Structure 1
Amino acid sequence: MRCPVCSTGGSFSAVERHGRFTVLHCPACDVQFSEPMEAAGDAFYDSHELYAGPEIWYTSTKTLQWDQRMFLRDRPHPGGRLLDVGCGTGYFIAAARADGYHVSGIDLSHGQLEVARRRFGLTDVHALTLDEYAGRVAPASFDVVTAFQVLEHVADPAAFLRKIRTLVAPEGFVAIGVPNWRVWSLLREPLDRPPNHLTRWSARSLHDALTRADFEVVRIREHRSAYGVMMRGLRLGVLRRAMQARSATQEKPAVPGAPGETGAAGTTATRTSAAVLTLAVAKARLLTMVDVPVGMALGAIRAPGCLVYALARARR
């Protein structure tokens, strides 16, 4: 067995077990990885509550993630051609477009891409894997490639970064954001396990992986917060309950024999449903905004999660 990032062989310490999956730690590059390295597959992204129901997900996350904001602060190659791998509902690439970039995006969730097209008028977004997309465009087509909270999902992260390298123009950039396992390992959320997350990263392991993929790391930033991850899990639960409540009021007629949303009683049920949903979304946003940096008291730092952000330049 070899590490999927640095190819080091030998014995690895077992960190966790989840069914047939074992999470191992590589001391050479500091990455944690799954054995076996089997990705969830396309169906997962159109069925799991985090990726399905894109309208409610869009409503609850109308803010840029911390790593995305770091990128827009850096603004490498302004006005250039940008590909976002894992673009989701398109909120980030819409912001990048407003900042002057010429944007494209790929994602495995058909539902979220539909939101990207409808909400933001994004036309160059496609339900393709990175390999599939790379086969349709010329090498060195982009000045910048971004992948925010994507690398942990792929079965071969080293090959994934090498493929990105083929798409980046000379002197172009890659920006990567990943969960930082060294910050929030004690607050592991349910999705941070195989087959959803196949790898867990630190600043050291991400730097190592980018260097091996023929990039020169310009900077690495760490957001050292552990509370946002737990809050994100709570937020998903709040939204799920809100959707269930709305579904229940719409499916059951308020008056026997009458449609659920007609008549005075039906109108009341609809208003109640809308109020529940509005309250849940407001609570979800609050949970997203409230973050507790490690070792500090409760604060309102608008930076959900515990992430490592890296900006790297393609070597000549």
Structure 2
Amino acid sequence: MQLEYLKNCPVCDKTSFSNYLNVEDYTVSHKEFTIQQCNSCNFLLTNPRPTEDEIGTYYQSADYISHHDEAKDMMSKIYISVRDYTINQKVKLINEFSSKKGSLLDIGCGTGNFIQAVQKDGWQITGTEPDYGARTVASTRVGDSIYEGIIAPQLTEKSFDVITLWHVLEHIHQLNENVTWIKDHLKEDGKIVIAVPNPQSHDAVKYGRFWAAYDVPRHLYHFTKATMKTLLDKHDLAITQILPMWFDSFYVSMLSSKYQAKKMGLLASFNTGLISNLKGRSGENEKINTSSLIYIIKKK
């Protein structure tokens, strides 16, 4: 498997890195990958990493459940049950900051559960999904509005009121090119919603190299609040609000405990998730610090 090494930081373009953490790919290959930290802006990235042409191999697993709808085991049953609840919360969130039900693009829509719910709520939806199987399921759910990627010619002239990336930005090889495209296709008063794991959360610190949300090598980047702001500033985008994703701390803690102890400690992982949420519950943007964070973003 060919790996590529990034010589320049995607956020600040500097060239000096330090090794931050070695993490195993617990889902597919069980190989170890290195997370490095930029010595200038502190951005965390998986480096070296599989090339864009070869990364698909690391998604070929029944355990990668965001691309599947089958509830085959306890973890997938928990994931799907929570997903159905959080989808309704996501739709509610979109409606809270939108004055009208206009056009929405969901990048990395998976099997289409979220955009189906948004469509039923009255939005005009478009989705992208690189995984063929997931894209086929999504297309069946919502129609023919699902494309392989944002470079689809059908999207060239389109602009959107809302663009969402639910746990997607950390997977994208061409980071700056994608953020530029997103800004260029966002209406002037539109909003971007980005949800990513938070490596500064209590559960991330506790589990360390066993923290499931590092998810190497599929997660190419590991955003803190500071480095997310630096990236968005670079593209003349501004964070208007940071919100918690309460359920992620429990799910991630359950997986992390399984990776660490070779078995799932339900009570201990529930307690870790609860503490993580309690420690990260402050209502101020600067202090929200849960396992995953939602960033609401606008043009400057």
Structure 2-normalised TM-score?
0.70
Q: Given the superposition, is the C-alpha separation of residues 53 and 79 from structure 1 closer, same or farther in structure 2, using an over 3 Å criterion?
A: closer
Which structure is richer in relative contact order (CA contacts within 8 A, separation 6 or more)?
1
SS of alignment partner, residue 100 of structure 1: coil
SS in 2 for 1:196: coil
User: Residue 297 of structure 2: SS of its match in structure 1?
Assistant: strand
Percent identity of equivalent pairs: 22
Partner of 2:198: 180
Per-residue CA deviations over 1:201-251 (Å, capped at 9, x if unaligned) read 11121122122122122112244774330235689xxxxxxxxxxxxxxxx
Q: CA RMSD in A?
A: 3.5
Matched, 1:129 2:173: no
Q: Is the CA contact (8 Å cut-off) linking 1:178 and 1:201 kept in structure 2?
A: yes
Aligned ranges 1:241-252 → 2 under 5 Å: none
Q: Does 1:202 align with 2:224?
A: yes
CA distance in 1, matches of 2:277, 2:32: 35
Shift of 1:115: 2.9
Distance of 1:67 and 1:206 partners within structure 2: 23
Confirm or deny: 8 A CA contact 1:179 1:308 kept in the other structure: yes
Residue 143 of structure 1 deviates from its aligned partner by 1.7
Distance 1:3 1:67 in 2: 35
In the alignment, the residues of structure 1 paired with residue 170 and residue 182 of structure 2 have an alpha-carbon distance, to the nearest angstrom, of 15
Q: How many residues end up aligned between the 2 structures?
A: 254
Deviations 1:26-65 (A, max 9, x none): 3544421011243553344454521454333695543326
Q: Does the 8 Å contact 2:21/2:35 carry over to 1? A: yes
2:55 alignment partner, one of 21, 24, 41: 41
Equivalent residue letter for 2:250: Y
State the shift of 1:124 in Å.
1.0
1:226/1:11 CA distance change after superposition, 3 Å: same
Deviation at 1:181, TM superposition (A): 0.7
The yes-or-no answer on 1:55 pairing with 2:65 is no
The corresponding residue for 2:182 is: 164
1:269 aligns with none
Preserved CA contact (<8 Å) 1:152 1:199: yes
Q: Which secondary structure does the structure 1 equivalent of 2:219 belong to?
A: coil
Structure possessing the higher radius of gyration over alpha carbons: 1
Structure 2 SS opposite 1:294: helix
Decide whether aligned partners of structure 1 residues 198 and 217 sit closer, same or farther in structure 2, where only a CA change above 3 A counts. Answer: same
Give yes or no for the alignment of 1:91 onto 2:106. no
Paired residue secondary structure (2:233): helix
Q: Secondary structure at the match of 2:105?
A: strand
Code of the aligned partner of 1:35: N
* Alignment match of 1:229 (pick from 252, 267, 271): 252
Q: How far apart, CA to CA, are the structure 1 residues paired with 2:89 and 2:227?
A: 17
Contact residue 55 and residue 115 of structure 1 kept, 8 A: no
Cα distance in 2 for partners of 1:212, 1:71 equals 26
1:108 is matched with which residue: 120, 130, 141?
Answer: 130
What is the one-letter code of the residue matched to 1:230?
S
Normalised by the size of structure 1, how large is the TM-score? Answer: 0.67
2:276 is the counterpart of 1:294: yes
Match of 2:21 among 7, 11, 15: 15
Letter in 2 for 1:136: Q
- 3-state SS in 1 of match to 2:135: helix
Cα distance in 2 for partners of 1:175, 1:53 equals 23
Q: Indicate the residue corresponding to 2:294 in structure 1.
A: 309
Tell me which residue corresponds to 1:5. 11
Task: Give the unaligned 5+ runs of structure 1.
Answer: 236-283, 298-304
Q: Determine helix, strand or coil for the equivalent of 1:79.
A: coil
